[in-house]
């Protein structure tokens, strides 16, 4: 369930553009007005605002925002203003540029988007960077990480609910054998995780647990310091329990040692129109604190205000 709230009666696009133009005029930006408008419009409405703003004022709205805003608030507004596919392309490109083995953004995008959303992100990547996401992933990663990430970002999974139980049993046995042999990057392990439908993977992993007594991620914890195993575990979590994966990202982003604004911004603005309500419920269940209260405790100013609006917080 989404947390984004859109008013029942939305002003006309030209009115929204006019108000945004006003927010940029004068000394300093009117951040409250920007939050009130963009924070309560869905992707389709935001796209229309960008298009109309450019046609009316001969200026890209993103450039206008970039000139007027700064720091974490600017990053959040700019990411939120992007079309979801463009946003995924941007996040994926940043992830390839500062690739580290513990950087899981590429896997996150590949495994938590629908087949069409991932395809649109790859198309947006072509348009924006004049090359493919696949070639950048291949260029910037090596070894087992490349072996897993390349088929994940190239995938176009079947999305029906049909499940082949015979196949689920066979592949659960196969996965168990490979994991028992510590052959974590075996071609078949990667093939199953990168190509099967999410419903099929779910059935396979349920059978794995019933037959062999352990959740697969428990068996993938053989070496807690192995970063490839950490990526494999996150891949499984994203495919089967995305809300648990995102809850953990948020829990690690909002902690006593300081805030990881990059992760907090990414999760809130990519999930607000999808399932942030489910993630927030999981966060509260796991941490006994509402997500919005944790945000208030760890952030401030306009950045905090927009995060709360996107997270569905009602004053």
* Residue positions forming the annotated binding site: 24, 26, 28, 68, 254, 256, 258, 296, 298-299, 304
Q: Which of 171, 245, 181, 183 is nearest to 208 (CA)?
A: 171
DSSP H or E segment with residue 259: strand 258-259
3-state secondary structure 97-166: HCCCCCCCHHHHHHHHCCHHHHHHHHHHHHHHHCCCHHHHHHHHCCHHHHHHHHHHHHCCCCCCCCCCHH
Long-range CB contact pairs, 108-111, < 8 A, 24+: 108/234, 108/238, 108/245, 108/249, 109/153, 110/149, 110/152, 110/153, 110/155, 111/152, 111/235, 111/238, 111/239, 111/242
| Contact (CB, 8 A) for 129 and 94 | no
Q: What residue numbers does the annotated binding site for Ca(2+) cover?
A: 24, 26, 28, 68, 254, 256, 258, 296, 298-299, 304
């Amino acid at each position: 369930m989404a947390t984004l709230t859109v008013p029942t009666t939305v002003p006309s696009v030209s009115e929204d553009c006019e108000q945004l133009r006003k927010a940029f005029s004068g000394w300093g930006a009117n951040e409250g007005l920007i939050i009130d408008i963009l924070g309560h419009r869905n992707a389709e409405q935001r796209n229309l605002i960008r298009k109309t703003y450019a046609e009316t004022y001969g200026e890209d709205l993103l450039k206008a925002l970039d000139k007027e805003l700064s720091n974490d608030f600017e990053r959040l507004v700019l990411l939120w203003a992007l079309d979801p596919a463009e946003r995924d392309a941007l996040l994926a490109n940043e992830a390839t540029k500062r690739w580290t083995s513990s950087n899981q953004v590429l896997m996150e995008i590949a495994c938590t988007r629908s087949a069409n959303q991932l395809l649109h992100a790859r198309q947006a990547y072509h348009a924006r960077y004049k090359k493919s996401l696949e070639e950048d992933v291949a260029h910037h990663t090596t070894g087992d990480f490349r072996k897993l990430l390349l088929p994940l970002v190239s995938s176009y999974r079947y999305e029906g609910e049909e499940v082949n139980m015979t196949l689920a049993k066979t592949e659960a046995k196969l996965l168990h054998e490979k994991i028992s042999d510590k052959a974590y990057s075996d071609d078949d392990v990667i093939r199953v995780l990168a190509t099967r439908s999410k419903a099929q993977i779910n059935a396979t992993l349920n059978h794995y647990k019933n037959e062999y007594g352990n959740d697969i991620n428990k068996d993938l914890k053989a070496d807690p310091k192995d970063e490839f195993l950490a990526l494999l575990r996150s891949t499984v979590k994203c495919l089967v329990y995305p809300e648990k994966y995102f809850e953990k990202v948020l829990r690690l982003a909002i902690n006593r040692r300081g805030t990881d604004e990059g992760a907090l911004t990414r999760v809130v603005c990519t999930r607000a129109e999808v399932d942030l309500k489910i993630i927030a419920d999981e966060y509260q269940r796991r941490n006994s604190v509402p997500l919005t209260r944790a945000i208030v405790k760890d952030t401030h100013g306009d950045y905090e205000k927009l995060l709360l609006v996107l997270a569905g917080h009602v004053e």
